[in-house]
Amino acid sequence: MLVSEFDFSLPADRIAQRPRPRGESRLLVLDTAGAERHRWISDLPRLLRPGDLLVVNDTRVIPARLFARRSGGGVVELLLAERLGECTWECLARPGRRARAGTRLALGESLTAEVVAETPDGRRKIRFSEPVEPHFDALGHVPLPPYIDRPDEIADRERYQTVWAREPGAIAAPTAGLHFTAEILAALDAAGVERVAVTLHVGLGTFKPVTALLVHEHRMEREQYRIPESTATAIAAARRQGRRIVAVGTTVVRTLESAALDGGGEIRPGAGSTEIFITPGFEFRAVDVLLTNFHLPASTLLMLVSAFAGRERILAAYREAIAEGYLFYSYGDAMLAERRAGD
């Protein structure tokens, strides 16, 4: 299958640069027609069924974007990608020519760092003079995606987190969860929708661009996840009772489907890692309904959604959303889809 089969044209003004007020996003419902197709995220408690099990990702975004000064002059932008040790991180550095191995960096008044190695894929291993986490509040910036064409703002520190964010470690938000409010969660509770959490720390792998011509040539990067025992128990009970599993976002899909593959169809508690690449033809074992944002052309996330609900069906829905004025990507609107075998 060609990567180009997942391409589409998106006008620049459809890329959300700022979020709507939380709880006021639009919602395209794939399995309805007419006026019922175009709803609001606040309608979700009426769209789900009593007994549905909503699974969310409780990862918390860290302010992983830092700006450092070189000892020889010039600024280097760092994106913390993976913690390798108490003071050592794998990072993206921009511009890379200013962050060669041996380069010394200064951040703020007291924190220093050294580039100790360059990886074959162009990343940098950087050792800080002390743990960097205590400096996040003073030095860190929200790692907004590059298609948001503005600097991060104070408001992003709260708005680029889900209301249930708990476990620090992500460098990007699980964006389908950004729409929820305490009021929507209370309405879901009142409607009989159960809710549990998993943790997948969103890393570079989720958003790594697809540069191959053929879909099967792309390789995902490994990301870490954890499934609490209470979540595994609730999913098993829902399965026995024929209730639906509703994933809030593609990171939840990747977590649950990876665990189901590893467990022979059973989702077991514990920590694990995944480099699963879900494309059309994938056999879903865990998720029945997906709430998700609108994704980039020819991206692994669009391929996952196409596998879940059918490529032609999804691309047609994207064209409709563009025509109807929906906003796309991280701060954009949402879509609700049931699993359907597709092209």
One DSSP character per residue, 5-56 reads GG-----GGGB-SSPPSTT--EEEETT--GGGGEEEGGGHHHHS-TT-EEEE
Q: Give the per-residue pLDDT at 209.
A: 83
Question: Tell me, what's the pLDDT at 207?
Answer: 65
65-139: same fold as 3-61+156-338?
no
**Spatial separation of the C-alpha atoms in residues 96 and 124, rounded to whole Å:** 9
Q: Which residue has the tokens 């109807």?
A: 324
Q: What is the DSSP string of 53-97?
A: EEEEE-EEE---EEEEEETTS-EEEEEEEEE-SSSEEEEEEESGG
d(CA 71, CA 74): 8
Q: What is the pLDDT of residue 343?
A: 52
Do β-strands 53-57 and 245-248 pair in parallel, antiparallel, or remain unpaired? parallel
| 157 and 136 Cβ atoms separated by less than 8 Å | no
pLDDT for position 305: 97
User: What is the pLDDT at residue 78?
Assistant: 96
Q: What is the pLDDT of residue 31?
A: 85
Q: Please report the pLDDT score of residue 206 as a whole number.
A: 67
Could you report the average pLDDT of every consecutive run of 10 residues in the chain (343 residues)?
A: 96 97 97 88 98 98 96 92 94 92 94 94 94 96 95 96 97 97 98 98 81 92 94 98 98 98 96 95 97 97 97 96 97 96 54
The pLDDT of residue 41 is 98
- For residue 199, the model assigns a pLDDT of 98
The residue extents of the domains of the chain are 3-61+156-338, 65-139
**So what's the pLDDT on residue 341?**
59
Has domain 65-139 been given CATH number 2.40.10.240?
yes
Architecture of domain 3-61+156-338: 3-Layer(aba) Sandwich (3.40)
